[in-house]
């Protein structure tokens, strides 16, 4: 079996680690996990692992790949049979576009609603600047679900886009973000997706007291 290693940060707080891990699951690539807290004391180790000091970082057959979209494209190239993108050309272009959008944007949403998989807030004051990001996320979801029929964004099986938006579904649940029934159902679908459920179990098992993390939310 090919040896592959995925360097991660906290499963409770690191949205990018979650995305990279889900992408490996989508591809069917078995990885050994290496958990490194992204704080000052571990910065030297992270520099040795990845020049960007960011996680996730995948090492596989001599290749070193960091950045979630780079990991997605690398895995799709190696495992085209995994169906990480939709088969249809137009749907595939759509999937790439929204995956790129969530990768590069939504800064206010990230800062206002940081990922935390251990808590559920019944009421949480959401920064008004995050509202346009929330509205845009919902618009993306509703367009995809209406166009491709659900329950995932591009039909009956998850794609790269679902891996990229998975942390956002958990933010919506953590902070009880008001959303449409269609969006709420999608959040449930992602939460019940077997790899996501596995990650959630691992996050709940992490120590309650953790060093302050400087993760890329």
CATH of the domain at 179: 1.20.1050.10
Task: CATH number of the domain at 51, please.
Answer: 3.40.30.10
Same domain, 65 and 99: no
**pTM summary value:** 0.90
Residue span of the structural domain in which 61 resides: 4-81
Number of domains comprising the chain:
2
Write down the pLDDT at residue 210.
Answer: 52
CB atoms within 10 A of CB 56: 26
Same domain, 49 and 105: no
Residue with tokens 């949205």, as numbered in its chain: 15
Q: How far, in Å, CA of 2 to CA of 120, rounded?
A: 39
User: Of 17-26, 41-50, 161-170, which gets the smallest average pLDDT?
Assistant: 41-50
Same domain, 73 and 8: yes
Last residue of a domain, one of 49, 81, 113: 81
The predicted-structure confidence for 139-196, as pLDDT tens digits, reads as follows 999 999 999 999 999 999 999 999 999 999 999 999 999 999 999 999 999 999 999 9
- 55 band by pLDDT with thresholds 50, 70 and 90: confident
Phi, psi of 125 (to 5 degrees): -70, 110
Write down the pLDDT at residue 207.
Answer: 86
Same domain, 66 and 134: no
Write down the pLDDT at residue 46.
Answer: 44
Same domain, 144 and 57: no
Last residue of a domain, one of 28, 59, 81: 81
């Amino acid at each position: 079996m090919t040896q592959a290693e995925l360097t991660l940060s906290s499963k409770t707080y690191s949205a990018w680690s979650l995305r990279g891990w889900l992408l490996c699951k989508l591809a069917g690539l078995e990885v050994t996990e290496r958990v490194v807290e992204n704080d000052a004391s571990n910065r030297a180790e992270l520099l040795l692992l990845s020049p960007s000091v960011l996680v996730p970082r995948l090492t596989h057959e001599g290749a070193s790949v960091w950045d979630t979209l780079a990991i997605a494209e690398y895995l799709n190239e190696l495992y085209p049979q995994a169906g990480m993108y939709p088969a249809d050309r137009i749907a595939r272009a759509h999937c790439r576009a929204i995956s790129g959008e969530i990768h590069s944007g939504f800064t206010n949403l990230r800062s206002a609603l940081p990922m935390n998989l251990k808590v559920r807030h019944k009421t949480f004051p959401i920064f008004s600047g995050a509202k346009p990001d929330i509205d845009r996320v919902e618009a993306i979801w509703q367009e995809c679900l209406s166009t491709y029929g659900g329950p995932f964004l591009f039909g009956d099986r998850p794609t790269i886009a679902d891996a990229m938006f998975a942390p956002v579904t958990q933010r919506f649940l953590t902070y009880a973000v008001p959303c449409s029934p269609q969006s709420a159902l999608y959040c449930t679908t992602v939460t019940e997706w077997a790899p996501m459920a596995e990650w959630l179990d691992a996050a709940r098992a992490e120590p309650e007291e953790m060093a302050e993390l400087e993760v890329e939310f």
